[in-house]
Structure 1
Amino acid sequence: MSDAADANDSAGNDAKTERERIRERKRRELEARLDDGESLDGGAGTEAGDGSGSATPNEPIHVNGTEELQRTVDDHDVVLVDCYADWCGPCQMMEPTIEALAAETDAAIAKVDVDANQAVAQQLGARSIPTLVLYADGEAVDRFVGAQDRATLESAIDEHAA
């Protein structure tokens, strides 16, 4: 194997390891909250029964199918959809940012594996990856193609979450 291939493999493993650490931390936090009798929404989201978006999850929602994507967009006021592939280097580089946005912003983050969900990728017009589509109140309001920095995505989310 070449040095470049070793470096790419190492970077991919580092991203996977980071994702696994984040997921494990989130799982421990959720278990602790449940053990303490706290509700999972933490009081966030909207009042029950008002018909608007539901509580924002603290981790990405993995979407499989166009109906599930539509339900996710309908259920949340602001949704950032991340079209990715496991083999995509820029997608792997963005994974910690995507995880952080899910945990720290008012947007729901939906992830679409374009290899497993080609119909969804086509519906979203994802011809290159990563492609991120921002929805606000059920409408696509912004699109980002290629790796994006956290500040750019946070700014777009904040603009539409207000």
Structure 2
Amino acid sequence: MSDTDDEREAIRERKRQELLEEAEGPAVPTEPIHVEGPEHLEDLTADHDVVLVDFHADWCGPCQMLEPTVESIATDSPAAVAKVDIDANEALARRENVQGVPTLQLYAGGKRRETLVGVKDESTLRSLIDQYA
């Protein structure tokens, strides 16, 4: 093979990989995504098959207890993990009927499927995600 043939083959392979990645959709992030508003949450739930949303507040002790669990789930679960600060996104929290924190909502296929209120252990959350992944 000539250098030109090698270059063409490399270009074809690179293009094939790009097309495969594009067809698979966006990769699942390995850290929580901080939601900046209703449209951002809608985009996340549309772009990812399964999304775990953590509605929290900085002043909330139980939310702080849950944070390491949420971080751990984000690193290696099939779900994208999103965090919504209810003080910075009051209208979004109201729209999603968040009445206490922490509130966890699981979206699958773009729709809210589950809502959990309070601190939950990691195995419970992983089992819930696995039901929809």
What TM-score bracket applies, with the shorter chain setting the length?
0.7 to 0.9
- Which residue of the partner structure matches residue 107 of structure 1? 79
Pairing of 1:64-143 with structure 2 (within 5 A): 64-143=36-115
Query: 5+ residue gaps in structure 2?
Result: 1-16
Structure with more relative contact order (C-alpha pairs < 8 Å, separation 6 or more): 2
Q: CA RMSD in A?
A: 1.4
Post-superposition offset of 1:145: 0.4
Post-superposition offset of 1:53: 4.5
Contact 1:83/1:131 (<8 A) preserved:
yes
Q: How many corresponding residue pairs?
A: 115
1:48 pairs with one of 18, 21, 29: 21
Residues of 1 paired with 2:43 and 2:125: CA distance? 22
Question: Deviation above 6 Å: which 4+ runs of structure 1?
Answer: none
Residues of 2 paired with 1:152 and 1:53: CA distance? 27
Contact 1:124/1:133 (<8 A) preserved:
no
Residues of 1 paired with 2:129 and 2:25: CA distance? 15
Residues of 2 paired with 1:76 and 1:64: CA distance? 17
- Which residue of the partner structure matches residue 58 of structure 1? 30
- Residue 96 of structure 1 aligns with an amino acid whose one-letter code is P
Contact 1:135/1:142 (<8 A) preserved:
yes
Post-superposition offset of 1:48: 3.1
Question: What SS does structure 2 have at the residue aligned with 1:48?
Answer: helix
Question: Highest Rg: 1 or 2?
Answer: 2
Query: 5+ residue gaps in structure 1?
Result: 1-42
Residues of 1 paired with 2:25 and 2:52: CA distance? 14
* TM-score for both structures, normalised by structure 1: 0.68
Identical counterparts, % of pairs:
52
Residues of 1 paired with 2:82 and 2:25: CA distance? 15
